[in-house]
Amino acid sequence: MKAAVIVFPGANCDRDCKVAIERSTGARVDMVWHGDTALPDRLDLIVLPGGFSYGDYLRCGAMASLSPVMAEVKAAAERGVATVGICNGFQVLCEARMLPGALLRNEHLKYVCKAVELEVTNAQTRFTAGYAGRRQVAMTVGNGEGNFFADDPTLDRLEGEGQVVFRYLDNPNGSARGIAGIVSGRGNVLGLMPHPDRAFEPELGSADGAILFQSALASA
């Protein structure tokens, strides 16, 4: 199995993601610089990590969404390659119009960093199949702009079509309808604010994030 982690200037979770994927799945992980114009061949998974790409100038994820490598990320996703955006990576996916909605300032205008409990609202996606009958998992959040927003028709569509994958049990950001993670209509692009890369071993407080990476690669 083969994965790639995209490295943007200002990213700070790229190596976390590499280690989490390697230890969780045994997959080979390549680090790909944002200025590259090609991806490694035969990828099974692409991860856009958390951090502060381009210093969060303009809008979180806006500048990173225009990086040269993103044209190849979009093309790979259109071919069906599993693609995950975590925290800042979720913001990049929304700015790149690979997922609907936007991530706004947190409701109380404060940075939030803590463990969170999540409801698995759809365990039949390629990213959540490994959770099987489990309805509750634990990860962590660390963001100042994790407040997911979309208009009501979009939210209704996301919920009606099973695209809401994770929901906060105690909404720390003020996200619309408690949404913590969504998938694309085709089901191969996932964006989530909680960090599975910070919850892949019991020593970190939870190993629930490992199941997400395992599910994504098992589906390939």
Query: What CATH number did the domain enclosing 47 receive?
Result: 3.40.50.880
Domain that holds residue 94: 2-219
Name the domain count of the chain.
1
Burial 45-70 (b: 16+ CB within 10 A, else e): bbbbbbbbbbebeebbbbbbbebebb
Segment 11-35 mean pLDDT: 97
Q: What value does the mean pLDDT of the chain take?
A: 97
Alpha-carbon span 102 to 96, nearest angstrom: 11
Spot the catalytic one: 13, 60, 87, 94.
Answer: 87
Specify whether 87 is catalytic: yes
Beta-ladder partners of 113: 142
pLDDT at 186 over 90: yes
Question: How confident is the model at residue 220, as a pLDDT?
Answer: 81
Per-residue model confidence as pLDDT tens digits over 119-132: 999 999 999 999 98
Per-residue pLDDT of 51-76, as tens digits, reads 999 998 889 999 999 999 999 999 99
CA distance 111 to 123: 29
Exactly one of 13, 34, 94, 195 is catalytic; name it. 195
Q: Look up 195 and say whether it is catalytic.
A: yes
In the chain, % of residues over pLDDT 70: 100
The pLDDT of residue 198 is 97
